[in-house]
Amino acid sequence: MPDSFLEIWHGDILSVNIERQDYYAFLSDEEKLKATTFLRPELQKKYIKTRGALRKVLASYLNINPQSICIKTGKYGKPFIENEIFFNLTHAGNKFAIAVSNCSEVGIDLECHKNRINLQGLVGKCFSKQEKAYWQALAKEQQEIMFYRFWVRKEALVKAVGRGIALGLNQCVVDPLNQLCFIDIPSDSGEAGEWKIVEVTLNKDYVCAVVINDVEFNYRLKELK
């Protein structure tokens, strides 16, 4: 399928050279109203920037005005459009990333690996037996980065499926020996082998992964200024 694609758009949330109004203009009337409800200015700016960026990106595929795109929300909160375009959004720290594909449902997760404390506790709760064993055996200096690599893969899977963390992160098991595959996922979410993990490299402070159906596609990383 030569026309199949997976494109990742990324950018800074609070970039100084972008006027709030650029992205505000892309929002729907309902979103503009929601933007007035944020008490903290930085949260309002983050909402306007990420939602506006999502609309700007989607409009580039659909060839329509960003404001007029009808973004719906699934049962567990996953945004979608009724079109052959699949997408998912993530934000962490000062960055956001949007995955867009015409192949299959897609999930993306981004983490800034300076924020998290109590990795042991999260590993205990959210990693499977195999993942825990692999992680515990790593050298201490490897543990932090590997925690985030596994974490974003697992989160991207629950976002691709659309169920969110209620799916059970500890039941979405990354293969420690081939970290681009899952060896187990909850049975009502299909076969583990149907999903492919794509590692996305943004910069040294962030870890990011996409999960998508295991098909052939052209991959591109694009920066949104």
Q: Which two tokens mark 108? A: 């993306």
Identify the three-state secondary structure at position 190: coil
Number of chain positions touching ligand COA (CB under 6 A): 19
Q: Residues 50, 101, 104, 189: which binds ligand COA (CB under 6 A)?
A: 50
Residue with smaller CB distance to ligand COA, 49 or 196: 49
- Give the nearest distance from C-beta 165 to ligand COA in angstroms: 4
Residue with smaller CB distance to ligand COA, 86 or 177: 86
Interface with ligand COA by CB under 6 A: which range of 85-93, 115-123, 131-139, 205-213? 85-93
How far the first Cα of the chain sits from its last, in Å, is 30
- Give the nearest distance from C-beta 103 to ligand COA in angstroms: 17
- Give the nearest distance from C-beta 136 to ligand COA in angstroms: 24
- Give the nearest distance from C-beta 22 to ligand COA in angstroms: 18
Q: Which helix (H) or strand (E) holds 189?
A: none
Quick one: DSSP state of residue 194?
G
What residues form DSSP beta bridges with 55? none
HSE-CB of 43 using CA atoms within 13 angstroms: 7
Q: CB nearest ligand COA: which residue? A: 164
Measuring CA to CA, which residue among 76, 141, 86, 79 is closest to residue 113? Answer: 141
What residues form DSSP beta bridges with 39? none
101-120: which residues touch ligand COA (CB under 6 A)? 107, 109
Measuring CA to CA, which residue among 62, 79, 88 is closest to residue 8? Answer: 88
Q: What one-letter code names the amino acid at 180?
A: L
- What are the φ/ψ torsions at residue 6 (nearest 5 degrees)? -130, 120
> Could you say whether residue 91 binds ligand COA (CB under 6 A)?
yes
Which burial class, exposed, middle or buried, applies to 60 when counting CB atoms under 10 A from its CB (0-12, 13-18, 19+)?
A: middle
> Could you say whether residue 7 binds ligand COA (CB under 6 A)?
no
Residue with smaller CB distance to ligand COA, 33 or 138: 33
- Give the nearest distance from C-beta 122 to ligand COA in angstroms: 13
What string marks each residue from 146 to 185 as x (binds ligand COA by CB under 6 A) or -? ---------x--xx--xxxxx-------------------
Residues that bind ligand COA (CB under 6 A): 50, 76-79, 88-91, 107, 109, 155, 158-159, 162-166
